[in-house]
Structures are given as C-alpha cells and as structure tokens.
Amino acid sequence: MTSQILFFIVLCVNCSYTFQVKCEDNTTKTTGGIAVWKFRGVRYTTSEDYLCWKENWKLFLRECDTKTGQWLPEKVVCRQQNKKNQYCPENLMEIYNDDESDYLCLKISPMPHKYDDAFCYGSNAIVPSDLSKSQLSNLLLYLFHRNIKEYWLPFRRDDNTMPVKIRLPGKHWGKVVDDDKMKILDFNSNRNCMSAQYINSHLKKKDAEPNIIMKDCQEMLHSICLFQDNFIAASGCPKGFRALSYRPNECYGVRKTKSPFVENMKISLMEYFQNRNILRRVLKKTIPKIKHDQFFEVDRYLDDSADSYVILMNRNEKVKVENQSSDNLPILYKEIVNLEFNTVQLILKIDIELDMLILIVYNREYIWRIGDHDGIKCFTNADYDLLRETNINLIWENENNTKSIYKVNLVGKDPGEYWCECHTIQNFQLVISSRVVTSKETRGHTFSVKLNMTCMRHSKFDLCSNIMQKNIKRIAKHDHEELRKLSKAISPQLILHNTRIMTIEMLASNYTIYWIHITASLMNSAVDNSEEDSSEERDSLENEQRIRHDTSVRMKVWRLLQKLLLIYNVDRKTLVRSTEYCFPELVNTNSDEIFVWNQALRGQMATLSTLCLQNNGMPLTRKCLGNFTYGAYWEELKEKVLCQCKNEKCQITKTLYSLQNSNITREFPEKTVKELKSIIQKNANKLLPADIHYTANILQSSVKYIQKNLNGNVSEKNNLTDVIKYTAHDIVEIYNYIVNVKKSTIRISATLNSTNKLLEAIETTINTLAVQTSENIANATSDETDVAPMDLEILEYVDIGVTAKVSCNFLYFIINPYVANISGIAIFQNDNFTDIPHILNGAFKHQHFRFLQSSHDIQELVSEPNLEFATYLPEKLLDNLNRILNTVNVTEKIKTSIVIKIYSNDKLFQAQGIHDRRAVIGMVVSISLPGHSTQLPENLPIVFRTQKNEFLKDNISTETDPCRYWNYENWAQDGIWLDLRIQETHQDIVICQLILFPMEVSNPDTSSSGGPKIACFVNYRSNPEHRHPLRKICRPNKRSSTSTAAVHTPFGAVHAEESMYCESLIAFWGLPYAVALHGGSASTEDDGLPRANPNGYPSQGSNEKRMHGEYPLSDPVPFVEK
C-alpha cells in the first residue's frame, strides 16, 4: 500500500515538470489586415489570415514560450505590403475596366525604340483588334496619360511588294493582314512596318479606330503587348510544371526531389510573394483541386539552439512551420529547360507510301505554344496568293512525343512552295523547314515569265498603286484570259492551264514589272499529264540531237510561249524560263564545232552531249542556276568551250563514253556490266575522274534496265534472278577496283555526283539481290552452293538464317531474323587470346564478326572487350515492323528481312563540289530493311567505339552531338540522337539511336540522255525542293517499299540508303566504323533517282528465288558522320 502511494506521488511530480503552457491566440493589426497568431504544437509559428513580414522582407516568426505561455517577441510590427497588381504578373502593367474582373495585362516599352519583332513575343493578342470598345477606351486614357499616342503594331512585310504579316509566335504567326480592311495604300515606299496612331478626338469616341500608318522600321516608337486570358504555358516543362508565355523556358512546379541542383533553384517564400500573381497562376494549373491542401516546402529556419524547422505552404497560400523530420518534402522550385539535347526540327517532305506531303517534327514538346494550338504554322505560294497559310493535321506520334508526323494540306492545282515555321521555348528561336515544291496534280509544265505592264493596260485594277492580295488575283486572271485569246493565233496546240503572279519586281509611276507562272502543255500530249497512266517521259526516245522526246515537248511549249509573250509584253521583250530545267543549248567550241549542253535540273551540273574533257580529266561542265520563282537559267560562259581529249590518256574515257551510249545497255545490261568490269580491271591504275563519272552512269543505267526486266516476263524471272546475282558479283568487283583509285581522283568526280550514283548502284543491286533470293533461303540446304568470283567468299549459315558474302573491300549479310532470332552483327578487333570463328580478310583482316540476337542487352554489348561496331533490331522494333508490314500486306504474310553491308572506306562518300577535310577513319556500314517505309516505330541502336587521336583536332568536337548521317549533301542529324545512358561508364563508346531513316534523294545526273526526268523527289542538296506532284509520278507498290539512312560520330561513318526501303548510312568521324541503314533494293530511271524494289525476307539456304510484284519508286541513300 505504501509503495503504491509513493509511485503515484512520483508520477504526479514528473507530470507537473513536463507540462507545457499553451500560448493564447494573439492578433496584430496591420494596414493590410489582421495577423492572427495561433499555437499549433510547434515552437515557432507564422501569422494566419495575413502574413507578417519583417523590415528586411523576411517572414516574421513568433516563438511560443511553453514554460510561461508568452509569445516572443511580445510586440509585433508587420511591414506593409505594396501590391502593384491585383491579377496580372508583377512585371506587367494592369489596367481595369469599369468592372475590376475585366482587366488588361500589358507590356509597354519604357522608351521609344526601333521596330523589334521579339519585343512582344509571348503576347497572345493584338491591340486594338482584340479589345472590346470599353477596354480600348480605358487603354487610350492610360496611354494618353503617359503621352503615348502612336505605337508599333506587331506587323511587318518583307518588302513593299509583299503582304503584311503578323509577327506574334503561335496561332497568329505569319497570318496575312487584311490589307483592304487595314487600308494599306503605301506600296511604293520602303516603309515596311506599321503603327497605330490616335489623336485627341479618338478619346471622345469609344469605338474610334486608330489611323494605321506604314512606317520606316528604323523610326522610334513605343511597343504595346497585350496578354489576355490564359498566358500560362506548358511547352517543354517537366510534368506538373508550367511557365509564363513570355518566359517559356522558366518552368515552375512542386516536386519531391533529392537533386542538389534543386537547392539553387528553390523558390523561397519571399520570392513567392514578390512574384505572387505569377506563381499562384502556375500552382493553380499544376496542383489539382483535390490536392489544394497539400503542403510543400518554401523555406527553412535554424534557431539559436541549432534546431531545424521547415516552412510549408499549400496552394491556398496557407503557411505553417513544422519540425524538420525529412529531407524529402515536396519543394517549390524553378527549372530552366535547356534544348541542347532536345533540338526542335521541322522536316518537310513527300511521303510516297502515304501519297501526301508530310511534316516530321522532332521534339514538338519544346515548341512554344499556348492552349490547344500546336505552335506550328505552314505556308505556301500556291494558288493565286503571294502568301497564304495551309492547315496541318497530326496523323502519328510516338509514345514519348519526340517524333510527330503531320499531314500538310495542299492548296490549288498548280506547283507551289510549301514550308513550315515554329518557335522554340528557348529565346523564341525561329525554326524553319526546307521549302518543298509540289502540287496536287500535274496538268502541264510550269514556266516562269517576266512581264512589263503599263498602268494603262491594267487601269481598271489600279495595278501601279494597289497590289493588295485581292487585286493580285484579279490581275492574274485578267492576264490569263488575255493570253489565252492571243494563244489561239500562235498555235491551236498550245494549252494554257493557269496563270499566277508570283512576285512583284518593281513598281513605278507608269509601269510595273512582275513575274508570273504559266502552266502550259501541248494538246493530246502525255508529257506532264498526271491523268495519263503511262507517261511518254518514262521511255522517251532521243532525236538526232540526242534530245529526249519529253524534253522536246517541253521545249516546244517553251518556244510557243516566247512567241506569245513577245506580243503581250509592253516592251516587246520576253524572258521565259522553265521552273525546273535548263533546256539543251547549242554552243560553239574553239574549233568551231557545234555541241549541245545537256538538259539539267535547276541547281545541277550538266555536261556536253559530246565527249569533252578538261585538263583535270573531268568532263566540261556548266551549272544550271535559278530558283522556283524566277525559273532556271544557265550560268554564263566566260570563254569558248575548249576540249582537251587529244592524247592516249583519254582512250579509256572514249571507250567508256562509247559503252555508255551503246544500245547494248538497254538490251543486255548484264553484259554491259561485265564488259565494264573488264575495262576497269585492265586499267584500274589509269582511271581519270571522267572514267569514274562514266562508270557511274553505266552502272546506274544497267541496274535500271535490270530492274525493268525483273518487272517483265514472269517466265524469265528465274533466269533474271541469276542475272542480278552475277551482276552483283561484277559490281562488287568493280567497287573493289574503284576504291583503290586515288582519293583526289574520286573527289573530283564527285562534282558530277558520280560517287553518289556509284553508291546507289551498289546499294540497289545488293538490295535487289537480297529480295530476289529471300524466298529461296528457307528452302535451301547446306549442300547448295553459290558460285562466286575468286575474290568473293560466300558463307552460308543455313541453321541460323544468314548468308554472308565477303570480298577484300566489301561484305554484306542477308539475315532472316525468324530462323534463330538473329537481327544484327557486331565487329570486333582481333586479339591473340580468343578463339575467333569468323575471321575476315583483305581490308577487314584485323577484325572478326559475331551475330547478335534481337534480345541482346545493349549494356552487356558495350562492355565487351575489342568491340568496334554493332547494330541490331531490338525485339520491340522487329515486332512493330512486322505488325506494320502485314497491316499493309493483307493478302499474304510477309516478314522483315535485314541486309547489312560494310564498305572498307569512305572514298565514295563525297560532297558534290565541296571538299570536306573531315573524313571517316575506317569503314561504312549500311543496314537495309526491305519492305519498310522511312518511319521507324522504335529506336534502332548503333554502337561505335571511339578512338582518341590527333585526327579529332581537324574534325567535329566530341563534345558536340556526334550522331549525324550523310544525306548526299552533308552530314545531317534529323531523326538521330545521341544516347547518353552509358557515357559515364563507357566514355569510349558512342550509341546513336535512329528514329527515322532520312528520305533524301541523290541528285540525278544530267550529262546524258538530254537530262533527267523527275521522279518522286528532287534532292535537297543543291536544290532543296520537291518539284512534282504526289500522284502522277510517284506510284509506289505499297507492299514493296524500303528506306535508308546514315549516322555519324566523330570517329567512323555509317551509310544509309533511303528508297522506300528502311536504309541508313551512319558515319562517326574518327571511328573505325561507320554505319548505313538500308532496306530492300532500289533502281533508278534516267533521272538517276532510285526506285524501291519488292520486299521479301531471306530464308535458309543458298538458292535464290525472287518475290513477284511491282517495284515502287523510292528515294536514294543517306549517310552519317560525327
């Protein structure tokens, strides 16, 4: 009993010792409101209802002395908060209407300045057109109070003959201003900017419209930017973060993170309230209503006893203090988005499979936009407008939104340029696609014509003083009717389809000079007629001057138009040009001989119709200059033509030139190749640049006719399979000789695109061979053999579905991934300690190869010693490719096959007419996927080992993005990116991920046959435009397509050919290897553009059977670098 009483007494004593005295609620009156202090069980607390600040703008914390129940300090003085704006961000100006909820947020330049496009970037409305009458009235009062009576409008025109465009990024960007409504009447001065001017009388009229004045852009005026409604953007921000529309790469949000970087980017409570209107808008968008009570860290406090506390706040701005018990609290912070590895790219091109103009967008998440608009605007000068918008529709996007594909709507019927523009979230950088020329249909050839018209001729249209958009169309239609009437007297065969004004060159007081496009054709001619099933252009014969029939037809139209314009033009002068071609032209030589310059595509080099060499061993050339608007024209000859082929040195060239022009190529192309091989074999050490050029022409034509024969008589197809097989052997031998020619000789020949044509012939032949033999591999046995030349070794791995063919400078693999799950190869450096089953010879003698399965772990692969290069199709990519392939091919099941080729060096990878001192150290690898388009559904990895050496000093820095590809012009990087996952652990390994096989096309040669015909694409190199319609010329077989691409790092190169086959050429500067990805085979017409061949997949064995089907048109091969 006594012990129980003692225990009770001790317990009570302890209770009284630890008991805390609660501080009573306390209030502090301030000018802004009443601050309420409540004890919440924590030693320190903040005021509630109204936050109290110290003089230094630090949060006022009061301590509750739980021993005495007193607040410390007892007296509180809160600093008064001066709120500049009630609703608008603090760095903008705020103007209220009669109703406080109706407010305007404005950015006004503090001082007058020259016109600056970028000043109002991020604004989403225009003053005064987007304001109500009452809003405008209040704004005018505000401006007049600040003595601002005139300000810049965000409008500008390129020159006084072009329409005025809106210069605000987003949905307004590039929109043509209604010049009639705006009453723009100044078409003669160089004043290309616009202002809005108000006078005192405008204040009395609430609905008064300002005076719109054309201004010199160098004048000094204020700028006014209007921000309406929602101007919070999410573009490029991490999930759950937002940014202001005018500071789009500064993203704010709340997130749990342990990153030390975040400590420097945390938003303190003081900073929050200094930017309260901005951040509360952000939090309203980023924190859902159901989590509005969720607290996040905004500050920390360390008291004199070294105890740590955190200051928390929620979306409703309720602030509290808690003991710091964890470092993993949600934090309010700012993140600056960097686009170094998220480059926005716009790639505009014609997709033959889809039969449409498409826009491929990389990293569209980083395009500036507000609301539902995607931030991309596309434009055209097709139809009757000098400039107009055209709509785009999103048709596909990958899971992580790094690649998006849009359909671009075509307008009008005749050819026009199309291009797209957008702004990134980093400093509103403008991104512009290349310009593509195309049309909905072909109904004639388009000519560019220069007109000189007096003002009297078009007096009823007020031509000289009114060139507004609407007037342009009226004038064009008037010209068209007048020309049609006059054309009847010139020739009844001449058909004028359309006449459009393309640009105004000069406006004078009594006359105007402008350029029109006339689309014309000959009556009953199939040339340039998209409704004709088989065009005369395909197999047109040459006349006595070796000018092809289709060229002759266009030239006849050209001459008839010249006669017509002599009558119509005021000054009786005429300038008529084809928009695409420089037509054949007669020229006198120094010996008074008359030669003909062959037809050339705009931007290309042409040769004479007769053999004529320069001192450097190259054929004499002449460039076709010009652009789409002003047409094509020959460069001026500064001296008479002088031919130097007078001695024995050019005897080989004469032989090759004769072989190029013989009929044997058309009738027996395989014999032509065999004879060519014999010539090259005997004279390999004597070849001139011209010999490389004619060799390329012969191979290109021969492969084309073999392809054509494969589409012919079915009963002969088995024999033709043997033809393509032995022709492939011959072409490989020719390649082995060519690559041993001096690099300087090959480089000179690249001026006429000879190296690209050689590559195309090799790729086309090998890919065609792979397709033709694909059906036989599955049925073959190990006893079957393929007879090959002495220097071509054939290795059959029937049990795993692989055929390999190896020569001293070239090897290739045909893989059926469904036999043993093999989907790629790896190349290793030999060592003296490993049992090596697949040792190579010749240029590859220090390497060996090993097959890779689709399930291979890339992390394990990069860790293997002596790895030089590797690529394979991962399981997910392979599965998706098959799913896509058999969605299109519903009549039969088709499986993906893989063709990998390796070139011993980069000698054929030469930029046309440009000497690039960067070179690939090592080999180039090509990967082909027959039957697939250029759009990969998943990434395809390509691995290289780097080499640290002095070579890199003359090449691309390894610190820059090393992944690029060769596009027949330069090393490009769209559709390929550097994978950084292994950089910390394997600094000598580069992984590039290919997400698109680029669709570039080699330049067709124009040195023979009177010049090329356009196929599906025109190369971007010298002339970055597609010139032809989608329907007539591009008629692919949907089941027979392939693509190609190429990738580069600073160490090696990869080559990728792109037809409609998945093919890619990828190069890495300084690497021992480069890679090229390809698919299927391709052939070319006379224009030099490749066509895709039928798809199929390799199966076991060595017997080669071809798959039946048509061969669609395709694109040529791109290549890669670092």
pLDDT per residue as tens digits for the range 509-538: 777 888 999 999 999 887 876 444 333 334
Binning pLDDT at 50, 70 and 90, where does residue 713 land?
Answer: low
DSSP strand E in 885-988: where?
898-903, 923-929, 935-945, 965-966, 971-972, 976-979
Burial 55-65 (b: 16+ CB within 10 A, else e): eeeebbbbebe
Q: Where are the domains of the chain?
A: 2-72, 93-227, 237-336, 345-438, 445-578, 582-634, 744-785+885-1092
Q: Is the pLDDT of residue 916 over 80?
A: no
Percent of the chain with pLDDT over 70: 73
Phi (first) and psi of residue 823, to 5 degrees? -135, 10
Q: Are strands 150-156 and 222-227 parallel, antiparallel or unpaired?
A: parallel
Q: Are strands 308-313 and 296-302 parallel, antiparallel or unpaired?
A: antiparallel
In this structure, what DSSP letter does residue 523 have? T
Phi (first) and psi of residue 236, to 5 degrees? 75, -10
Binning pLDDT at 50, 70 and 90, where does residue 774 land?
Answer: low
Burial 998-1030 (b: 16+ CB within 10 A, else e): bbbbbbbbbbbbbbbbbbbbbbbbbbbbbbbbb
Cβ partners under 8 Å of residue 302, min gap 6: 308, 309
Q: Which two tokens stand for residue 901?
A: 């080729």
Distance CA 1092, CA 1012 (A): 18
Q: Is the pLDDT of residue 738 over 90?
A: yes
Q: Is the pLDDT of residue 618 over 50?
A: yes
Give the DSSP H/E element, type plus range, for residue 582.
Answer: strand 581-582
Distance CA 514, CA 454 (A): 11
Greater confidence (101 vs 797) lies with 797
Do 88 and 105 contact (CB within 8 A), yes or no? yes
Closest by CA position to 244, among listed 231, 254, 253: 231
Greater confidence (284 vs 602) lies with 602
Greater confidence (262 vs 653) lies with 653
Closest by CA position to 745, among listed 695, 705, 699: 695
Residue that is written with structure tokens 């991020």 in the block: 122
Do 504 and 467 contact (CB within 8 A), yes or no? yes
Percent of the chain with pLDDT over 90: 31
First-to-last alpha carbon distance for the chain, in angstroms, is 92
pLDDT per residue as tens digits for the range 953-985: 344 333 445 676 767 666 667 777 777 776 666
Alpha carbon 530 to its chain centroid, in Å, reads 29
Cα-based torsion angle of the residue sequence 396, 401, 403, 409 in order, rounded to the nearest 10 degrees: 40
Into which CATH architecture does domain 445-578 fall? 2-Layer Sandwich (3.30)
pLDDT of residue 782: 46
For range 1024-1049, the mean pLDDT: 33
Q: Given its phi and psi angles, is residue 816 left (phi above 0), alpha (psi -120 to 50 degrees) or beta?
A: beta
Greater confidence (714 vs 583) lies with 583
pLDDT of residue 831: 80
Q: Given its phi and psi angles, is residue 589 left (phi above 0), alpha (psi -120 to 50 degrees) or beta?
A: beta
Q: Which of 24-33, 479-488, 879-888 has the highest mean pLDDT?
A: 479-488
* pTM tops 0.95, yes or no: no
Greater confidence (987 vs 4) lies with 987
Residues in the chain: 1122
Distance CA 1017, CA 1092 (A): 13
Write the CA distances from 900 to 176, 826, 1055, 1072, integer angstroms. Answer: 50, 11, 10, 17
For range 392-414, the mean pLDDT: 90
Cα-based torsion angle of the residue sequence 563, 564, 568, 574 in order, rounded to the nearest 10 degrees: -50
Q: Which of 171-180, 221-230, 693-702 has the highest mean pLDDT?
A: 693-702
Do 279 and 252 contact (CB within 8 A), yes or no? yes
Q: Is the pLDDT of residue 126 over 60?
A: yes
Distance CA 40, CA 311 (A): 13
Task: Quickly list DSSP for 259-315.
Answer: -HHHHTTB--HHHHHHTHHHHHHHHHHHS-GGGTT--EEEEEEE-TT--EEEEEE-T
**80-89, 224-233, 877-886: range with lowest mean pLDDT:** 877-886
Task: Find the helix packing angle between 717-738 and 689-710, rounded to 10°.
Answer: 160
Binning pLDDT at 50, 70 and 90, where does residue 649 land?
Answer: confident
CB neighbours of residue 339 within 10 Å: 16
pLDDT of residue 699: 95
pLDDT per residue as tens digits for the range 991-1002: 888 765 433 322
Cβ partners under 8 Å of residue 648, min gap 6: none
Alpha carbon 130 to its chain centroid, in Å, reads 34
Binning pLDDT at 50, 70 and 90, where does residue 462 land?
Answer: low
Do 188 and 160 contact (CB within 8 A), yes or no? yes
Closest by CA position to 514, among listed 581, 455, 435: 455
For range 673-699, the mean pLDDT: 94
Write out the CATH class of domain 93-227: alpha beta
Cβ partners under 8 Å of residue 540, min gap 6: 527, 548, 549, 550, 551
pLDDT of residue 111: 95
Binning pLDDT at 50, 70 and 90, where does residue 110 land?
Answer: very high
Q: Is the pLDDT of residue 1091 over 80?
A: no
Greater confidence (967 vs 1115) lies with 967
pLDDT of residue 64: 92
Binning pLDDT at 50, 70 and 90, where does residue 389 land?
Answer: very high
pLDDT of residue 1121: 30
pLDDT per residue as tens digits for the range 840-865: 888 888 888 999 999 998 888 888 88
Q: Is the pLDDT of residue 16 over 50?
A: no
Q: Is the pLDDT of residue 247 over 90?
A: yes
pLDDT of residue 244: 92
Give the DSSP H/E element, type plus range, for residue 1064.
Answer: strand 1062-1070
pLDDT of residue 184: 62
Binning pLDDT at 50, 70 and 90, where does residue 57 land?
Answer: confident
For range 332-337, the mean pLDDT: 90
pLDDT per residue as tens digits for the range 283-302: 888 888 767 788 999 998 88
pLDDT of residue 1062: 42
Distance CA 659, CA 653 (A): 10
Distance CA 163, CA 173 (A): 13
For range 614-630, the mean pLDDT: 92
The reply to whether omega before 1036 is within 30° of 0 (cis) is no
Distance CA 525, CA 494 (A): 11
Identify the CATH number of the domain defined by range 345-438.
Answer: 2.60.40
The whole-chain average pLDDT of the chain stands at: 77
pLDDT of residue 163: 84
Binning pLDDT at 50, 70 and 90, where does residue 597 land?
Answer: very high
Distance CA 690, CA 741 (A): 13
**17-21, 414-418, 696-700, 913-917: range with lowest mean pLDDT:** 913-917
For range 1089-1110, the mean pLDDT: 28
